[in-house]
Amino acid sequence: MKKPGILLVISGPSGAGKGTLAKALISRHSNIELSISATTRDVRPGEKAGETYYYINKEEFLEKVTQGLFLEYATVYDNYYGTPRDKVLEALDKEVDVILEIDIQGAMQVKKNYPDAVFVFVVPPSLEILKERIICRDREPLEEIEKRLQEVKKELSYIGEYDYVVVNDEIQDAVDQMECIIKAEKCKSTRRFISFEEKGE
């Protein structure tokens, strides 16, 4: 009896700690993987095809788009980036949970194309703390930081589109919460109904 994996879509403002959270999860669980995007941009030194990205040309990319083979895609500086549906589904089918760290626009595309995904919005404990984190990390001029905080406020209005909100105060607590979200989702009656019937009958 198969228990397909869960696609976890993680969004949240820069500085909320999504990356750290995702890394902590995959390092602790051999059955959790990061989704690997396809891109049309060139390979950079140190990158590895099929690990950092799947590298394909624009023609191929656009053909896949028209065939609906991406869970989401976007253009950044003339290059395309997308999440290959087949790679994700293959992993889920092998009972692997897949983490997709992505912006809100991408997440909304996934919601449309794969509504079974679980959507998690990661937030810092407060806007003040986020400000401190951005200042310490990025050392940008205050004006730039204020602009980013305005952006964050706008992003927060999308929280309602997500299933869960993880407040990343202490990273260990946030990891615990993510682990529980995955475990609880696997207990959802909508995901589990069939499995009991199969075993029980």
**What residue ranges bind a second copy (CB under 8 A)?**
120-121, 123, 125-127, 156, 159-160, 162-167, 176-177, 179-181, 183-185, 187-190, 192-193, 196-197, 199-201
Chain position carrying tokens 């004006």: 143
Shortest Å, Cβ 83 to a second copy: 22
Cβ proximity of 145 and 135 under 8 Å: yes
Shortest Å, Cβ 9 to a second copy: 13
Cβ proximity of 144 and 14 under 8 Å: no
Q: How far apart are the first and last CA of the chain?
A: 13
Nearer to a second copy by Cβ, of 66 and 189: the residue is 189
Shortest Å, Cβ 58 to a second copy: 37
Nearer to a second copy by Cβ, of 1 and 136: the residue is 1
Nearer to a second copy by Cβ, of 56 and 120: the residue is 120
Shortest Å, Cβ 68 to a second copy: 28
- What separation in angstroms does the CA of 185 have from each of 65, 85, 135, 164? 30, 21, 36, 11
d(CA 120, CA 40): 28
CA 161 to chain centre: 14
Nearer to a second copy by Cβ, of 38 and 134: the residue is 134
Nearer to a second copy by Cβ, of 103 and 163: the residue is 163
Q: Which residues pair with 7 in a beta bridge?
A: 98
Shortest Å, Cβ 56 to a second copy: 35
Residue 54: HSE in the Cβ half-sphere, 13 Å Cα cutoff: 17
User: What letter represents residue 74's amino acid?
Assistant: A
